[in-house]
Amino acid sequence: WEQGIGKIASVRGGQDSTKHLATSVSSSSESSSSGDGLGDKVASLLGAGGVVMILAKSIKRILPIALEPFGAASPAPLSTFQLGAYVSMCLWFAYVEGYKGFQLKFSPLVVARAQTLKPFNGSPIHHILLAPFYSMGLFHATKKRKIISWSVSIGVGVIVAAVKKLPYPWRNIVDAGVIVGLSWGSLSIIVEWVKAAVLGIQTKMDPALPGSA
Considering only residues 89 and 15, tell me which one the structure prediction assigns the higher pLDDT: 89
| Mean pLDDT, residues 3-16 taken together | 47
Tell me the C-alpha distance between 99 and 102, whole Å: 6
Nearest C-alpha neighbor of 92 from the set 32, 160, 176: 176
Instruction: Report the range of poorest mean pLDDT among 13-22, 31-40, 203-212.
Output: 13-22
Share of residues in the chain with pLDDT > 90 (%): 73
Its pTM stands at 0.82
Long-range residue pairs from 191-196, CB within 8 A, at least 24 positions apart, any chain: 191/107, 192/48, 192/107, 192/108, 192/110, 192/111, 193/44, 193/45, 193/48, 193/49, 193/111, 193/114, 196/44, 196/111, 196/112, 196/115
**What pLDDT does 31 receive?**
41
Widest CA span in the chain: 108
Tell me the C-alpha distance between 175 and 165, whole Å: 12
- pLDDT for 213 beyond 60: no
Q: What's the pLDDT tens digit per position in 115-164?
A: 999 998 889 999 999 999 999 999 999 999 999 999 999 999 898 899 99
**What pLDDT does 10 receive?**
47
Q: What is the mean pLDDT of the chain?
A: 86
Give, in order, the Cα–Cα distances in Å from 96 to each of 3, 119, 128.
86, 35, 31
- pLDDT band of 202, cuts 50, 70, 90: confident
